[in-house]
Amino acid sequence: MSNTFIAVAYDDMFTAQEVRLQLLRMQKEYLLDLEDAVVAVRDEKGKVKLHQIHNMTAAGAVSGSFWGLLIGLIFMNPLLGLAAGAAGGALSGALADVGIDDEFMKKLAAELKPGSSVLFVLVKHFTPDKVLAELEGAGGRVLKTSLSHEDEAALQAVLDASKPQAETAAPNLDKSA
């Protein structure tokens, strides 16, 4: 099964984070399976910062620490093994890249106006009708996708749609009217 790529731009620096949290909640409900979800923020000075969902440097340091400690115990110097393993693991983790290419994300985010953000999503599988219903009215502008033109237009329409008035208006409980 092929992955689906979607990049959506937002006019502020916070909405992309909020939508990513919404996607992570949907993942816990088994409505979608995310491979990667990255928020790129272009601050007021024009600098682009990526907020990854996976911290490969930390994961590499933990893994390297374990193996370094184990090897250090074998050679009677566990502290040296621990330090060397953590450093090596952190370096290999920092050099590793999973999911969406970092340079591609930085280049695309750099084209936006300062004070904006982009949500990059790589999805393995999703339930289209339920996910789209959850994202209705989230706003944003679709920049790039691997979706068909029809599906991309449908996604943009859902993002642009406003929530139904029944959800936003107070219910009329007066039954005599």
pLDDT tens across 17-58, in order?
Answer: 999 999 999 999 999 999 989 999 999 998 999 988 755 555
- Report the pLDDT value the prediction gives residue 101, as an integer from 0 to 100: 85
- Could you give the CA distance from residue 99 to residue 162 in angstroms, rounded to a whole number? 31
27 and 87 together in one domain: no
In a domain, 38, yes or no: yes
- 89 plus 106 within the same structural domain: no
Same domain, 161 and 84: no
Q: Is residue 177 part of a domain?
A: no
| 81 and 110 housed in the same domain | no
- 172 domain residue, yes or no: no
What local confidence, expressed as pLDDT, does residue 128 receive? 86
- Among 64, 95, 126, where does a domain finish? 95
Whether residue 33 is found in the same domain as residue 90: no
Q: Is 160 in the same domain as 148?
A: yes
Same domain, 112 and 149: yes
Same domain, 128 and 109: yes
Ordered DSSP codes for 75-89: TT-HHHHHHHHHHHH
Rounded to the nearest angstrom, the gap between the alpha carbon of residue 4 and the centroid of all alpha carbons in its chain is: 13
Handedness of CA 6, 126, 27, 96 (dihedral sign): negative
Same domain, 81 and 107: no
Number of domains in the chain: 2
Is there a contact between 34 and 122 (Cβ–Cβ < 8 Å)?
yes
Q: Among 130, 139, 175, 133, which Cα is nearest to 159's?
A: 139
The answer to whether residue 24 is domain-embedded is yes
Task: Supply the pLDDT for residue 77.
Answer: 65
- Which stretches of the chain drop beneath a pLDDT of 50? 1, 95, 165-177
Q: Taking a C-beta distance cutoff of 8 angstroms, is the pair 74, 3 a contact?
A: no
Residues 40 and 104 in one domain: yes
- Report how far residue 105's alpha carbon sits from residue 38's, in angstroms, rounded to the nearest whole number: 9
Question: Could you tell me if 65 and 113 lie in one domain?
Answer: no
What is the per-residue pLDDT for 156?
A: 92
Write the DSSP symbol of residue 136: T
Q: Residue 10 belongs to what domain range?
A: 4-53+100-167
Backbone Cα Rg of the chain? 22
Are the CB atoms for 138 and 9 separated by under 8 Å? no
